[in-house]
Amino acid sequence: MEQREDKLKEVISHAKEYGFVFPSSEIYDGLAATYDYGQLGSELKNNIKTYWWKAMVQMHENIVGIDASIFMHPTTWKASGHVDAFNDPLIDNKDSKKRYRADVLLEEHIEKIRQKIEKEVEKGLKRFGDAFDADQFRATNPNVLRNAEKITYIEDKMRVTLENNDLEGLKNLIEELEIVCPISGSKNWTDVRQFNLMFSTEMGSVAGDASTIYLRPETAQGIFVNFLNVQKSGRMKIPFGIAQIGKAFRNEIIARQFIFRMREFEQMEMQFFVRPGEEMKWYEYWKNTRIQWHKALGLGEQHYRFHDHIKLAHYANAAADIEFNFPMGFKELEGIHSRTDFDLKQHEQFSGKKLQYFDPELNQNYVPYVIETSVGLDRMFLAVLSASHKNEVLEDGSERVVLNLPPALAPYKVAVMPLTKKDGLPEKAREIIDGLKFDFLCTYDEKDSIGKRYRRQDAIGTPFSVTVDHQTLEDNTVTIRDRDTMQQERIAIADLHRLIDQKVNLRTLLTVNTMSEVNN
Ligand code: GAP
């Protein structure tokens, strides 16, 4: 646990030191759960967006992209259910004045019991060594069994209270389990209240209910309200998808863990419209396609797993998360939801406009069913950054910090460095950059020893460093160093473009995606 916290701290400080992510308005001591992407962070973020957009829109004939407004007609959020039901159950500790999500307090309590079980198993392993059968131990050890029973009891009670919106029941459970405030250590709790997560503001100059609008809490509704516009103007035939990347806002109470849970964040969402009755086929298809998209990045297949939802939202008939092994453990990275015809039907009802499709093959009108894929861009960023960040001990005993970023996502693709600042070497280096910069983001570095310059590029994940020396002036060759292997090779300047392109071109990643979709 402590190791994991240390890892997250290391990633946060690395992100700040090298210009990836800064706390927002830091000179005023920052604003909770809000971050700014720096000069390298915005490059990495843009590259992730491009990878998603190309894989979803450019590689699929039947998916198109839009860019809807953040502000939407307020009735949108009545229809979608967000005004009435996009709530968190909150409880305050009267002594520390700290506010918590009641369900999170209970989940953390469950996690503590889980850790007790794991400690018991570890003790068993120490005692019995190789002969230890962990499964049998879990099934028979009285302490483990007692704790497992406790977990089932709490989970069952929690599910029932949440399903029935039984706020008193939630408070009773917290009191029954004698959960204390982590700050004050007291059990002096207020009642549980529902708290809506949408930010609201006023449009125009007149205050009052009629002009209250919301900052969108998901981008998806911008797609639903444009369903017919896109279908008709693009002459789209079902099945087809509409994709969008954009900001979303949620007044998260427990916003923490760096950019994992923020109040202002970005989503990459796609709604795929299908014939009613065919939604489960497409749900499986998109589950598979999306996990392959993640795995193609090469961050390690063991870092991903599915979590199928047992308790479904009222609009869904199936839902799963793709979880990633973040420094804090496995957590949701992307959601894949079979949303039925709920959203379009709601918008039909609230707007009084038909949102139907005429299917020429069936000779029939219907409201399409929807499969949604929704991934948080900031969570993708954290996944890529944390899995790429490594402290390596080299053969000679020295250490380096390296970001093994997937080359197609790296901010700079190549650093060009003159060995010295004189003899025409800087001019030659800039000439090389001029030849590469149309296709690759390049950086120039002439300060410090070459060794130090390599380390700087390793730390920001630049896949290639090119050194220009006196021989370059004679025969137009340079040394190219690979970030991951640290191998150096002498090659002709004329070959640089091809060699860099082979490794950093998005085509490599997209090809992996296309191949896995064929097998899907
Ligand atoms: N349209 C469906 C939807 O919004 P969600 O599970 O609430 O579903 C989808 O959100 C994704 O958005 C999540 O899997 C996560 O990656 C990202 N996300 C949600 N809340 C977030 C937050 N507060 N900060 C950062 N990312 C968030």
Distance (Å) from CA 497 to ligand 1 centroid: 39
Q: Could you tell me if 89 and 193 are in contact, meaning their C-beta atoms sit under 8 angstroms apart?
A: yes
Distance of CA 8 to the CA centre of its chain: 15
Same domain for 156 and 205, yes or no, is no
* Average pLDDT over every residue of 186-208: 86
Per-residue pLDDT at 134 exceeds 80? yes
Q: Is residue 119 part of a domain?
A: yes
pLDDT at 3: 67
Substitution site in 261, 374, 378, 380 for ligand 1 pocket (most atoms within 8 Å of beta carbon): 374
In this prediction, residues 3-8 reach a mean pLDDT of 80
- Evaluate whether residue 92 is within a structural domain: yes
**pLDDT tens, position by position, 100-112:** 989 889 988 998 9
Top mutation candidate among 265, 268, 306 for ligand 1, by most atoms within 8 Å of CB? 265
Nearest residue (CA) to ligand 1, atom 16: 376
- Which atom of ligand 1 is least distant from the CA of 262? 24
* Run of H or E including 187: none
Q: Which SS3 state, helix, strand or coil, does residue 219 take? A: coil
Same-domain check for residues 386 and 418: no
Residue percentage of the chain with pLDDT more than 70: 97
pLDDT at res. 271: 98
Q: Please tell me the predicted confidence (pLDDT) of residue 1.
A: 53
* Residues 18-43 pLDDT 10s: 999 999 999 999 998 899 999 999 99
Give the residue, by CA position, lying nearest to ligand 1 atom 9.
374
Ligand 1 contacts (CB < 6 A) are: 218, 220, 250, 252, 261-262, 265, 267, 269, 332-335, 372, 374-376, 378-379
User: Taking all residues of the chain, what is their mean pLDDT, rounded to a whole number?
Assistant: 93
Burial (CB < 10 A; 0-12, 13-18, 19+), residue 41, is buried
For the residues of 326-351, what is the DSSP string, one character each?
A: ETTEEEEEEEEEEEETHHHHHHHHHH
Give pLDDT tens digits for 378-415.
999 999 999 999 999 988 889 999 999 999 999 999 99
Q: What is the pLDDT of residues 223-282, one digit of tens each?
A: 999 999 999 999 999 999 999 999 999 998 776 789 999 999 999 999 999 999 999 999
Residue 520 lies in a domain: no
Range of the domain at 342: 39-76+198-392
**Whether residue 316 has pLDDT greater than 90:** no
φ/ψ region of 89 (left if φ > 0, alpha if ψ in -120 to 50, else beta) reads beta
For residue 4, pLDDT beyond 80? no
Q: Are 234 and 225 in contact (CB under 8 A)?
A: no
Give the pLDDT of residue 204.
75
Confidence label for 147 from pLDDT (cuts 50, 70 and 90): very high
Do 57 and 100 lie in one domain? The reply is no
Q: Which residue's alpha carbon is at the smallest distance from atom 15 of ligand 1?
A: 376
Asked whether residue 20 is assigned to any structural domain, the reply reads no
CATH number at residue 292: 3.30.930.10
For residue 296, the CA-to-ligand 1 centroid distance in Å is: 22
Selected residue with higher pLDDT from 128 and 505: 505
pLDDT band at 209 (very low <50, low <70, confident <90, very high): low
What's the total number of domains in the chain? 3
DSSP string, 432-468: HHHHHTTTS-EEE--SS-HHHHHHHHHHHT-SEEEEE
What radius of gyration do the chain's Cα atoms show?
A: 27
